[in-house]
Amino acid sequence: MVSNFREVNLEQGMPFVDEALRRLTHELGHSSHMGVKVLKIIHGYGSSGTGGRIRIEVRKYLDRLKQQGKIKAYIPGESFSIFQEETRMAFQFCDALRQDRDLDRHNNGVTFIVL
């Protein structure tokens, strides 16, 4: 059975921003092709000096994709809470999100993308 939720670590291997964005583009296409509804990406929050740059650029990229209608939404980890409307909307696409370890943890090192 194919899951409608997937997690990808963009920070693995400590890539430069452009490499991380290329991997994200690939993972978005691959996940969409697989029927994944929500993709969780781990990009770090900047404690090592590189994760913060990846986080900033990934979210700028996701803003553009959302404006172009290529993704439905994205939820920054720090906003991933049952009290946020976008999180509750994402639950409708992927009930497994209710069990995610980052729910209500305000983790700014992750982002959830609703495909």
What tens-digit pLDDT sequence spans the chain (115 residues)? 457 999 999 989 989 999 999 999 999 999 999 999 999 999 988 765 555 889 999 999 999 999 999 999 999 999 999 999 999 999 999 999 999 999 999 999 999 999 9
Fold of 5-114: Ribosomal Protein S8; Chain: A, domain 1 (3.30.1370)
Q: Collapse the DSSP code of 38 into the 3-class scheme (helix H, G, I; strand E, B; otherwise coil) and give the result.
A: strand
Gap between the Cα atoms of 96 and 39, Å rounded: 12
Q: How many CB atoms lie within 10 A of CB 40?
A: 21
pLDDT at 83: 96
**Where are the alpha helices (H) located in 1-115, listed in sequence order?**
17-34, 51-67, 85-93
The domain segmentation of the chain, as residue ranges, is 5-114
Q: Specify the amino acid at residue 46.
A: G
